[in-house]
Amino acid sequence: MIPHLLVWIVPFILPAQQSQTDSLKNLLVQADNDSVKASALYHLSKLYYTYDQDTAILYGMEAVSLAKENGFEKIGANALNIVGVSYLIQSDYEKSLSTHLEALGIRENLQDTVGIIESTMNLGNIYYRLKELDKAVKQYEKSLELAQLINHERAMSLLYNNLGSYYLDRWLSWKESEDFNQTKAYLEQSKAIKEKLNDKRSLTNTLLQLGELYYESGEKQLAIRLLRQALEISQEMNDTEGRLSSLGTLSDYHRDNNSLDLAIAYATQAYELAAETKSNYQISIAASKMAHLSALNRDFEKAYEYQRINEASNDSIFNDSRAKIRAELEVQYESEKKELENQKLLKEQELAALTITRKNELLLIFIAVAILLIAVAWYQRRTNQKLRAVTKKLKEYNTKVKSQNQQIQLQSDELNSSNLQLKKANHFRDKLFSIISHDLRTPFSSLNNSLDLWKSGDLSKEEMDYVLAAIASDAHAASSLLSNLLTWARTQMSSDEVEKKEVSIQDLVASNQHLFAKQLEQKKLVLENHVPANFTVYTDPDRLDFIIRNALSNSIKFTPTGGRIHIQVAPDHPSALLIKDSGKGMDENQIDSLFENKQFSSSGTDGEQGTGIGLMLVKDFADSIGAGISISSEKGNGTTFKIIFS
């Protein structure tokens, strides 16, 4: 009968998936910590051991090497266990045995109970494969005792399975009812725990052995169902050994039922899978089965070929040199263990004698150190007193320096504040004088002209009435302008705060139209206010009034006699106001110079003069209320002044 055994690594190991291996490889490349690298190498080995033992051994030995260099004993022992299992699957029993003995030694030193259970059980698996069944059972029972002690269900399920396999072999050989009962009891206990833990990988082996038990006892249909279930699970889990066992056993049963074609089909799959594993043990079993089935099928050439493969594999497994090496390794392990115990006992005795001597030495050293400490303490105390006195003086001096620095800093801050306020005051003064000069020149000039005419006494009564009316209008305009300038000055003196409210643009334009009525009449200009009554803007009325007044003043100034001025909402922008005139216009250079921080002035169509700063102030006011200003013009074709409200 083909022996069935389990290899226990850790609970619920899944087949190596590409995403898992990629993640671990990325972690291995990026990690700068040896502990993380060693752990990643160990887990990579664990992912590969079921289907690619060479890769598993490579990663496992790298983990072992890194663990030894850094003292990561537990990771090293776990990696050795994976390497030992990989060698076992490949039927390299000597390397598997030496590796597991090394892992067991580390785990015993660490008192790692779970690790000891694992190593002891895997040693039993090696003896089982070597058909040294008494040694295997001894290791299984030792492992089971520890597992029951700590109630480790996973380990108990595997050990019940292995003991069930042992008694199944006995029952198949002797057909003793006691062996049958032991087999069924152990396997049923194993199956119950594995189903509880949802351990499909290990459940495959239990199903195989139960299937064999039921088949040999006569319940053949139940046995075949269990074997097919085991095959499906092993394929799902990518479990090579489970598939090999399932295929081999199904082949045997179909052979016994005279279904030779099915038997050969299952055996062929098993041999191809065994060849992929490169395991001499599995190849030997599969080749032997193929040789027998080929002979039954009267294909003696294939039977002879498979028989030669079987013999070559057996020779590789059971040669004398490997048996000798295996025995030497066991003896070496036991002798080294005893030697370590003897050395430990000698060391303990030496330590006890050395302890007495050291106690006396320590007493003398303690007395000497105590005297020295007292002397040092006395000296230190005097030194500390001197240091405290010096420190106190330094603190007083530092306090004075800090106080002086604070006063200097305070004076500096006050001076900087005063300079800033002075600069703001000078800037405000310059603005104020510029606006007064700009906005009051026109009404006072007109007022002076009217007064000169009135003083001449050469006017008729009708002309006198007209001049007086003009003087009153000019005086009212100058008063209104002066009131606005004072309002602007007050806003400037209150930190440039902008006071916004709803403003009717139509009313504001009408007010300025009335203000410039005399100039409009003198130049026979037509001003058309097309702003709708419902066009309102939330802004500072005084600052916007100044902007419109200045723009309208420039339109009057540069529009020849008989010209027209249109004020309307921009067709392409519902929140923009246009002031268009039919004046003499400007070229691009003149437009570019309008808002620069320097005066630019030119004479009007009737020789009117300006200060050249109006548009500078317009730009300043527009920025303060968040409005945009743009001017478009063409020489000889008038100018359009655009105010864009945000």
- Report the chain's terminal Cα–Cα distance, integer Å: 95
Out of 231-235, 424-428, 492-496, pick the least confident.
492-496
Q: Is the pLDDT of residue 464 over 50?
A: yes
Q: Is the pLDDT of residue 439 over 60?
A: no
DSSP 583: S
Please state the φ and ψ torsions of residue 29, each to the nearest 5 degrees.
Answer: -70, -40
Q: Is the pLDDT of residue 448 over 80?
A: no
**If 0-12 CB within 10 Å is exposed, 13-18 middle and 19+ buried, where does residue 462 land?**
exposed
More confident residue, 118 or 327: 118
Q: Is the pLDDT of residue 5 over 80?
A: no
What is the pLDDT, as a whole number, of residue 395? 80
Q: Is the pLDDT of residue 440 over 80?
A: no
Query: Is residue 145 helix, strand or coil?
Result: helix
What is the pLDDT, as a whole number, of residue 442? 64
DSSP character string of 439-454:
HHHHHHHHHHHHHHHH
Minimal CA–CA distance to 168: which of 105, 221, 215, 204?
Answer: 215
Report residue 168 CA to chain centroid gap.
Answer: 55
| Length of the chain as a residue count | 646
What is the pLDDT, as a whole number, of residue 436? 63
- How many beta carbons lie within 10 A of that of residue 133, not counting itself? 16
- Long-range interactions of 467-476: CB distance < 8 A, separation 24+: 470/446, 470/518, 471/447, 473/517, 473/518, 474/443, 474/444, 474/446, 474/447, 474/450, 474/518, 475/447
Instruction: State which amino acid sits at residue 32.
Output: D
Instruction: State which amino acid sits at residue 86.
Output: S
Q: Is the pLDDT of residue 215 over 60?
A: yes
The DSSP bridge partners found for residue 526 are 564
Mean pLDDT of 283-308: 91
What is the pLDDT, as a whole number, of residue 607? 54
- What pTM does this model have? 0.43
Q: How far is CA 635 from CA 364, 588, 607, in A?
A: 112, 9, 18
What is the pLDDT, as a whole number, of residue 328? 39
DSSP character string of 192-226:
HHHHHHT-HHHHHHHHHHHHHHHHHTT-HHHHHHH
Please state the φ and ψ torsions of residue 485, each to the nearest 5 degrees.
Answer: -65, -40
What is the pLDDT, as a whole number, of residue 599? 46
Q: Which domains does the chain have, with CATH numbers?
A: 7-123 (1.25.40.10), 498-644 (3.30.565.10)
**Confidence at 155, pLDDT banded by 50, 70, 90:** very high
Specify whether the CB–CB gap between 200 and 236 falls below 8 A: yes
Mean pLDDT of 211-227: 90
What is the pLDDT, as a whole number, of residue 316? 74
What is the pLDDT, as a whole number, of residue 644? 95
What is the pLDDT, as a whole number, of residue 273? 92
Kind of pairing between the strands at 526-529 and 564-569: parallel
Q: What gap in Å lies between CA 446 and CA 450, rounded to an integer?
A: 6
**Confidence at 311, pLDDT banded by 50, 70, 90:** confident
Minimal CA–CA distance to 634: which of 581, 585, 590, 563?
Answer: 585
Q: What gap in Å lies between CA 245 and CA 205, rounded to an integer?
A: 8
Q: Is the pLDDT of residue 141 over 80?
A: yes
More confident residue, 514 or 12: 514
Q: What gap in Å lies between CA 560 and CA 581, rounded to an integer?
A: 10
pLDDT digits (tens, 9 = 90+) for 537-563: 999 998 999 999 999 988 998 999 999
Query: What percent of the chain is modeled with pLDDT above 90?
Result: 46
Query: What percent of the chain is modeled with pLDDT above 70?
Result: 78
DSSP 243: H
What is the pLDDT, as a whole number, of residue 332? 45
All residues at 6 or more sequence positions from 625 whose CB lies less than 8 Å from its CB, including other chains: 498, 500, 539, 540, 543, 544
Minimal CA–CA distance to 532: which of 554, 501, 502, 510?
Answer: 510
Q: How far is CA 433 from CA 11, 474, 490, in A?
A: 93, 21, 14
H or E element in which residue 438 lies: helix 320-456
More confident residue, 431 or 305: 305
Q: Is the pLDDT of residue 578 over 80?
A: yes
DSSP character string of 388-421:
HHHHHHHHHHHHHHHHHHHHHHHHHHHHHHHHHH
Tell me what the pLDDT averaged over the chain comes to.
82
The tally of CA atoms less than 13 A away on the side-chain side of residue 439 is 30
Q: Is the pLDDT of residue 333 over 80?
A: no
Specify whether the CB–CB gap between 639 and 632 falls below 8 A: yes
What is the pLDDT, as a whole number, of residue 12? 34
- Give Rg (Cα) of the chain: 54
pLDDT digits (tens, 9 = 90+) for 587-601: 888 888 776 654 455
pLDDT digits (tens, 9 = 90+) for 345-368: 666 666 766 677 777 777 888 788
What is the pLDDT, as a whole number, of residue 409? 84
Judged by phi (left if over 0) then psi (alpha if -120 to 50, else beta), residue 132 lies in beta
pLDDT digits (tens, 9 = 90+) for 12-25: 333 445 678 888 88
- Token duo for residue 266: 């299952």
Minimal CA–CA distance to 282: which of 319, 254, 241?
Answer: 241
